[in-house]
Copies of this chain bind each other. A is one copy, B any other.
Amino acid sequence: MSVIENTTRTPLIQPQRLWDDLMSSREVGALGETGMRRLALSEEDRQVRDWFVAQCRALGCSIEIDQIGNIFATYPGLDPNLAPIAMGSHLDTQPSGGRFDGILGVLAGIEVLRALHDASVRPAHPITVITWTNEEGSRFAPAMMGSGVYVGAHQWQTVAATCDKSGISVAQALDSIGYAGNREPGFMQFSAYVELHIEQGPVLEAEGIEIGVVEAVQGVCWLDIKVPGVSAHAGGRPMTMRDDALVAASKIVLAVEAVASAHLPGVGTVGFVNAAPNSRNVIPGTVTLEVDLRHPDDAELSALETELIAEIKRISPAAEVRRVWRKPPVIFDSRIVDAIADRTEALGYSARRMVSGAGHDAAHVAGIAPSAMIFIPSYNGLSHNVLEYSSPQQCAQGATVLLGAVLDLDNLLTADDRNS
């Protein structure tokens, strides 16, 4: 149970303070009028990390940093034997990103700590805000690198040697910005983990709903497809004697759409296409497609993949299909999900249980601690886009649910400990 020391004040989010932080965060890596470019482990990343550490220290937090640069700011709890309840997300962005993706989850975490601090509320559990290293994966692959190393999904030694396009390794970049910590990844256990994030999709906005209670992250399957044809002069070869790789590839693009639409709520996308020789008056001889398939149900995702490959082989028997990535869905902890849903209802916000279309650090953390996520609406469903936007009110609502869920979990889990 949370203890309110020497006061009857209720901890409350300050919407304007949170908004001011979101807007001033943009000054570190501003791109155009509304965009951001804050690549992982860049000088801009160093600046925003320094700011994060200073804000948290001012609230009395201890700061710990692990080898891959994940930062853990812990607001002390009344019972030092309890594993912290954690919040977090990331402060890095895409090369041409927006102001909210990831950043909101960290800044709302700080705002939660401020609300506790201002009200002099000290929970039973320590409360930790985490900024995970390199969620975006734009400079160093893969994405969700820091949380992936932390939970043991990736080997730290391998990741340390991973280089960006100019040959700088993750280890070198961490050293150069002074965030190569001494903690072993995985050093801290969490009683629970809650991540606030913008939806990065259009569902909440389209349905006019304020809070998304995220129960799962979709499974993902990536396929590379090479469609063969015979390159020839576009004027000299009759229609009846052609083997046009782009015609076959176009049928495959439509098959991806059809098969995914037959497996709703699954999604299928061809985001990348390359034709060779790619000259107007030459029939394309080879077309490469990169496909992204997702489904919240693992068996359905497998069915989607199998049916699509059958369609591809029917359209172009000689097409080469290579699976380059497969990740099963992550089902969040029902108790954490319910805690978020209950607090949202108590606050009078409209809510919807939903599945995350995108990957998040929470999907990794779910492997080592009870986890769930809170979504707020994204303007036009945009993300990884300089026009990314959520309103001050939407951000404040998300942070208020986050604060409430943390306090409720503190009570709930403390009661557990008593009963156990």
- Which B-chain residue is minimally distant from A375 (CB atoms)? B236
- Which B-chain residue is minimally distant from A285 (CB atoms)? B385
CB atoms of A247 and B237 under 8 A apart = no
A234 sits at the interface (CB 8 A): yes
CB atoms of A206 and B251 under 8 A apart = no
Q: In the assembled complex, which residues on chain B have CB atoms less than 8 Å from the CB atom of A220?
A: 235
A308 to B204, CA, bound (A): 39
The answer to whether residues A239 and B254 also contact, given A234-B271, A271-B279, A283-B269 and a CB cut-off of 8 A, is: no
A70 sits at the interface (CB 8 A): no
A372-409 vs B, Cβ < 8 Å mask (1 yes, 0 no): 00000000111111000000000000000000000000
Residue from A249, A260, A269, A270 having most chain B Cβ neighbours under 10 A: A269
Contact of A202 among B235, B241, B266 (CB under 8 A): B241
The stretch of A83-91, A286-294, A344-352 that contacts the partner chain:
A286-294
A181-204 vs B, Cβ < 8 Å mask (1 yes, 0 no): 000000000000000000111110
A418 sits at the interface (CB 8 A): no
A232-246 vs B, Cβ < 8 Å mask (1 yes, 0 no): 111111111100101
Q: In the assembled complex, which residues on chain B have CB atoms less than 8 Å from the CB atom of A358?
A: 233, 235-236
The copy count of this chain in the complex is 2
A35 sits at the interface (CB 8 A): no
**Chain A: interface secondary structure?**
mixed
CB atoms of B202 and A381 under 8 A apart = no
Return A377 CB to nearest CB of chain B, in Å: 12
Q: In the assembled complex, which residues on chain B have CB atoms less than 8 Å from the CB atom of A287?
A: 273
Contact of A272 among B206, B264, B279, B291 (CB under 8 A): B279
Q: In the assembled complex, which residues on chain B have CB atoms less than 8 Å from the CB atom of A269?
A: 234, 244, 280-283
Q: In the assembled complex, which residues on chain B have CB atoms less than 8 Å from the CB atom of A145?
A: none
Q: In the assembled complex, which residues on chain B have CB atoms less than 8 Å from the CB atom of A282?
A: 269, 271, 384
CB atoms of B232 and A201 under 8 A apart = yes
A193 to B123, CA, bound (A): 96
A275 sits at the interface (CB 8 A): yes
A253 to B251, CA, bound (A): 9
Q: A202-B236, A203-B238 are in contact. List 15 more A-B contacts (CB 8 A).
A: A199-B236, A201-B232, A201-B233, A201-B238, A232-B383, A234-B294, A237-B357, A239-B267, A241-B381, A244-B269, A251-B254, A271-B278, A271-B280, A273-B284, A274-B278
A residues with CB within 8 A of B = 199-203, 206, 218, 220, 222, 230-241, 244, 246-247, 249-251, 253-254, 257, 260-261, 264-275, 278-284, 287, 290-292, 294, 356-359, 380-385
